Amino acid sequence: MPATDFKDYYAVLGINKTASADEIKKVYRRLARKYHPDMNQGNKEAEAHFKEVSEAYEVLSDSDKRKKYDQFGQYWKQAGQGWPSGGGGAGVDPSGFDFSQYGSFDEFINELLGRFGTTSPGAPGRSGGRAYTYRTNTGGPTGFSGYNGFDGFENQTGQATAADREATLSLSLSEAFNGVQKRLDLGTEVVDVRIPPGAKTGSRIRLKGKGAVSPYTQQRGDLYLTVELLPHSFFQFDGENLVCEVPITPDEAVLGAQIEVPTPDGSVTVNVPAGIRSGQSLRLRGKGWPKPKAQRGDQMVKIAIVPPKDLSPIDREYYEKIRTARSFNPRSDLKQIKL
| Strand, coil or helix: 136 | coil
What is the Cα 270 distance to its own chain's centre? 28
* 8 Å CB contact between 93 and 71: yes
- At 258 the pLDDT is 97
- At 108 the pLDDT is 78
- At 157 the pLDDT is 34
- At 206 the pLDDT is 87
Backbone angles phi, psi at 315, to 5 degrees: -60, -50
- At 151 the pLDDT is 34
- At 145 the pLDDT is 28
| Strand, coil or helix: 214 | coil
- At 121 the pLDDT is 32
- At 143 the pLDDT is 28
Longest Cα separation, the chain = 85
Kind of pairing, strands 137-138 and 180-185? antiparallel
- At 80 the pLDDT is 53
Over its length of 339 residues, how does the chain's per-residue pLDDT go in tens digits? Answer: 444 468 899 999 999 999 999 999 999 999 988 998 778 888 889 888 888 898 899 899 988 889 988 888 877 776 554 444 444 444 455 455 566 666 677 777 877 776 544 333 333 333 333 344 444 433 333 222 233 333 334 333 333 445 788 888 999 999 999 999 988 888 778 888 888 899 999 998 888 888 877 665 677 888 889 999 999 999 999 988 999 999 999 999 999 999 999 999 999 999 999 999 999 999 999 999 998 777 899 999 999 999 999 999 999 999 999 999 999 999 999 988 999
Task: Taking each helix axis as running N to C, give the angle between helix 44-60 and helix 21-35, from 0 to 180 degrees, rounded to the nearest 10.
Answer: 160
Kind of pairing, strands 180-185 and 190-195? antiparallel
* 8 Å CB contact between 33 and 233: yes
Inter-residue long-range contacts of 2-11, CB under 8 Å, 24+ positions, other chains counted: 2/81, 5/104, 5/105, 5/106, 6/73, 6/76, 6/105, 7/52, 7/55, 7/56, 7/105, 7/109, 9/55, 9/56, 9/59, 9/60, 9/69, 10/56, 10/60
- At 86 the pLDDT is 41
Cα separations in angstroms, 85 against 74, 79, 88? 17, 11, 8
- At 133 the pLDDT is 45
- At 105 the pLDDT is 79
- At 137 the pLDDT is 37
